[in-house]
Amino acid sequence: MRSLLGTQEVFEIVQDGYEQLGANPTERQQTTFKDCKKRNCKALFYIWHSVDSNNYERISKVSTSKEAWNILVKYCTGGEKTKKIKLQMLRRKYELLQMENNEKMTNYFNRVQTITNQMKANGEVMTEVVIIEMIMMTQTQRYDHIVVAIEESKNLDIMKLEDLQSSLEAHEFRVKERDEAHTQTQALQAQFSKKSNQDGMNAVPRKYKEMIVKFNCPRIVNNLLSLGQLLEKGYSMNMENGQMKVFDSAKRLILKAPLSKNRTFKIEIQINENQRLAGEIRREDWLWHQRFGHLNFRNLQMLQSSDMVIGIQEIQVSNEICEE
């Protein structure tokens, strides 16, 4: 309302009022009084039309704009005692101000300015440099380096509050962009890892339609070849140009496998027929061991227990070593 009255050039008459005519006024005094009365009526008109119905009832009977203004000031701000109590509460809030970890910079500046404006309205004298220093001291830890940079490079006595807010918001935007990029990278890595695991599981047929044959490496008891186990047993690997080569301890090439679509190295082992003289096999489990191309006994037990082979008898795991 102060701005409205100022634009109409009537705020002086509202604030200072005007004197009534005395006895035997001069023509100049009459002209001045007439002009002041006109300006008073104009100011009172704007005040009446700027307040709500409750406040209008309080000032509807006054005759001067100064009286109306003083009544509104008293009801809106209270007396001196009320202003002191309000100011004490606002000072307490001001002292406890602290930026929260997930709070946006714009919201924090709005909180600070709301409290400081209320303090100024209740008579507190606050300079801009005091507010700037308070905001810089109450930033979270992730803004410590930018606060130090501003203190070293800027003169806080002539710095504007808007400039400080602009600098801190620019840093906040950079931090947010980096966090989002890091989150997206982690999400992509997790998605890629999940897809790779699914592809690896899909590579093994559900009903073992393709037999996974154990490569003949001493003391390795798993069907799937483990690079870690191969390294522990003295083997070395070389992976380049879309294929993997495995060498023994004498640097002799013993295995070469191409990279498949599901990012695994699939080994196809062909068993040649051997022409041998007639021989006698006394144990049935060793016969099935040879029939399946020297398949290890644990896999034979799995075939027998799963009823995947018709006619196979119960297989006993042998501690003997196949010499063929």
Classify residue 126: in a domain, yes or no. Answer: yes
Instruction: Collapse the DSSP code of 190 into the 3-class scheme (helix H, G, I; strand E, B; otherwise coil) and give the result.
Output: helix
Residue burial 252-269, b: 16+ Cβ < 10 Å; e: rest:
eeebebeeeeeebbebee
Name the pLDDT band for 310 (thresholds 50, 70, 90).
Answer: confident
Classify residue 45: in a domain, yes or no. Answer: yes
Are residues 251 and 234 in contact, defined by beta-carbon separation less than 8 angstroms?
Answer: no
Q: Considering 77, 94, 119, which residue would you say is the last residue of a domain?
A: 77
Whether residue 71 is found in the same domain as residue 123:
no
Rounded to 10 degrees, the C-alpha dihedral 231/232/234/238 comes to 0
Whether residue 17 is found in the same domain as residue 71:
yes
What pLDDT digit, counting tens, does each position of 191-229 carry? Answer: 656 555 555 445 444 433 333 334 444 554 445 677 788
Whether residue 50 is found in the same domain as residue 96:
no
Name the pLDDT band for 111 (thresholds 50, 70, 90).
Answer: very high
Classify residue 72: in a domain, yes or no. Answer: yes
Classify residue 304: in a domain, yes or no. Answer: no
Whether residue 8 is found in the same domain as residue 22:
yes
- Which residue segment(s) compose the domain that 51 sits in? 2-77
Whether residue 39 is found in the same domain as residue 98:
no
Classify residue 63: in a domain, yes or no. Answer: yes
What pLDDT digit, counting tens, does each position of 236-264 carry? Answer: 888 888 888 888 888 888 888 888 877 77
Name which residue leads in pLDDT, 28 or 82. Answer: 28
Nearest-angstrom CA–CA distance, 31 and 225:
111
Q: Considering 127, 157, 178, which residue would you say is the last residue of a domain?
A: 178
Least confident of 8-17, 124-133, 163-172, 271-280: 271-280
What pLDDT digit, counting tens, does each position of 49-96 carry? Answer: 888 888 888 888 888 888 888 888 877 766 677 778 888 999 999 999
pTM of this structure: 0.41
Whether residue 64 is found in the same domain as residue 126:
no
Whether residue 62 is found in the same domain as residue 105:
no
Q: What pLDDT, on a 0 to 100 scale, did the predictor assign at position 244?
A: 87
Burial environment of residue 232 by CB neighbours within 10 A (0 to 12, 13 to 18, 19 or more): exposed
Q: What pLDDT, on a 0 to 100 scale, did the predictor assign at position 207?
A: 37
Vertex 187 angle, CA 186 and 193, to 5°: 90
* Tokens at 244, concatenated: 């993997």
Q: Considering 77, 103, 128, which residue would you say is the last residue of a domain?
A: 77
Q: What pLDDT, on a 0 to 100 scale, did the predictor assign at position 323?
A: 64
Are residues 186 and 180 in contact, defined by beta-carbon separation less than 8 angstroms?
Answer: no
Classify residue 226: in a domain, yes or no. Answer: no
Considering only CA atoms, give the Rg of the chain.
Answer: 46
Percentage, residues of the chain above pLDDT 70: 79
Whether residue 94 is found in the same domain as residue 34:
no
Whether residue 156 is found in the same domain as residue 67:
no
Name the pLDDT band for 112 (thresholds 50, 70, 90).
Answer: very high
Name which residue leads in pLDDT, 239 or 269. Answer: 239
Whether residue 37 is found in the same domain as residue 86:
no
Whether residue 29 is found in the same domain as residue 65:
yes
Mean pLDDT of 102-114: 92
Whether residue 62 is found in the same domain as residue 92:
no
* Tokens at 2, concatenated: 């102060």
Classify residue 52: in a domain, yes or no. Answer: yes
Beta-sheet strands, E only, within 151-219: none
Q: What pLDDT, on a 0 to 100 scale, did the predictor assign at position 211?
A: 37
Number of domains the chain contains: 2
What pLDDT digit, counting tens, does each position of 174-198 carry? Answer: 888 877 766 666 665 666 565 555 5
pLDDT at residue 133 tops 70: yes
If you average pLDDT over every residue of the chain, what do you get? Answer: 78
Classify residue 143: in a domain, yes or no. Answer: yes
Name which residue leads in pLDDT, 5 or 98. Answer: 98
